[in-house]
Amino acid sequence: MMLNQTVEVAPRREPSIMDVAREAGVSAQTVSRVATGKNVVRPQTREKVVEAMHRLGYRPNGAARALKSGRYRNIGVIMFSLSSYGNMRTLEAIAGEAARVGYALTLIPLGAASQSRVSGAFARLSEQAVDGIVILIEAHQLNESDIELPQGLPVVVVDSNAQYDQPVVDTDQAQGARLATEHLLDMGHRTVWHVAGPDESFSAQRRRESWKATLHSRGAAAPEALVGDWSANSGRAAGRELALREEVTAVFAANDQMALGVMHAIHEAGLRIPEDISVVGFDDTPESASFWPALTTIRQHFDQVGVAALQALVAAIEDQPRERGDLVPTELIVRRSTAAPSR
C-alpha cells in the first residue's frame, strides 16, 4: 500500500541588496544609490550594478525605498481629453522624460473638466502614493477660485492662463498668434479674419486676444471672430461664411483641423488658395504638410512642453531651485497656403 506524502519545498529566497553588492563587487550603499536613481554613481559602476541586478533577478523594494527616502518615484498625471493631438504629444514627452529620470507615471484621464472630477482624481492619486502631480487640463472653469489644489504635494500645471502659485508650463500661445497674423499682414493683406477655438479654452482665448492685439498694433481693423470647436466641420462652416465675403483675403484658424475645414469650404466656393484667400493654421500636425495646398502654420513644440513640465515637477519634488514657470516658444512654418493678396 502506497501512502501519499506531502513534500514541503522551501520558498525561493529573493535576492537581496547584499547579494547584488557581492555579485557586482561594490558596496551595498552603492547598490542602494543605483536602485533609488541617484546620480552620484559613476556610469561604469552603475552599469555593473544594473547588470548584476538583471543576472540575479533583483527587484528593488519600492515600499522600502519610499520609507527610507520619503519618495515613491511615482508621478500622477490628471489629463482632460485623450483625443487631443497636443495633449497626447505632451503626455508622450512627460512619460519619456519621467522614464529617463527614473520615475513611473499614474494616469487619471477625465471625461469632463469639473471641480468634483478633479477633486476625485486627486483623491485617487493620493491612494496611489505619488510624489507629485502634473495637471494637463485646459478649461476656464479650472482657475484658482474654482479648484483647490492639494497642499504639501508638488503640482505643475500645463496650461496657458491658469493663475496658480504652482509652476505653469505651456506653449507661448500669444507669440504664435502674433507670428501668424504678422505673416499675413507683411504679405500685404489689409486685415486677417480669425476662426477661433471654443470660448472655454485658455489656448483659444490667448490666440484670439493676441490676433486682435496684433491687428490693432499695426493699425488694421479687427473683424468679428468666428468661433469653432477645434473640429474640421466647424472650420468648414466658418469657411463657407468667409468665402461669401469679397473683402476676405486672409484667414488665421486657431488650429490645423479648423484650417482644413476652412480650406475645404474655400475650394467648394470655387476660390483658390492662396491666390484668392490665404490660410494659416496652428499646431503643425503631421498631416498639415499634406493639405492642398500645404498649410502654413504655427508649430507648437509639445515635446518641449512635456519635458519642461516634468523637469519642473521633479525639481519641486527634489527641492531643486527652478523658475516658477516656462513658456515654450512657437515657430512659423511657411508653406504654400499663403501669398500676397490678388483681390
- Whether residue 300 is predicted with pLDDT greater than 70 in this model: the reply is yes
- Whether residue 158 is predicted with pLDDT greater than 90 in this model: the reply is no
What is the pLDDT at residue 161?
58
> Cα separation of 318 and 69, whole Å?
11
Cβ pair 79, 113 in contact under 8 A: no
Report the share of the chain in percent with pLDDT over 70.
Answer: 80
* Chain mean position to CA 254: 17
* Chain mean position to CA 196: 20
With H, G, I as helix, E, B as strand and everything else as coil, classify residue 109. Answer: strand
What is the pLDDT at residue 217?
98
What is the pLDDT at residue 9?
45
Cβ pair 242, 262 in contact under 8 A: yes
- Whether residue 7 is predicted with pLDDT greater than 60 in this model: the reply is no
- Whether residue 95 is predicted with pLDDT greater than 90 in this model: the reply is yes
Average pLDDT value over all residues in the chain: 85
Cβ pair 328, 171 in contact under 8 A: yes
Kindly state the average pLDDT of the residues 273-301: 97
Q: With the CA atoms of 334, 335, 336 and 337 taken in that order, what torsion angle do they form, in degrees rounded to the nearest 10?
A: -60
| Confidence at 200, pLDDT banded by 50, 70, 90 | confident
- Whether residue 65 is predicted with pLDDT greater than 80 in this model: the reply is no
Q: What is the DSSP letter of 286?
A: T
Kindly state the average pLDDT of the residues 294-305: 96
Q: With the CA atoms of 135, 139, 143 and 149 taken in that order, what torsion angle do they form, in degrees rounded to the nearest 10?
A: -30
What is the pLDDT at residue 143?
46
> Cα separation of 15 and 171, whole Å?
47
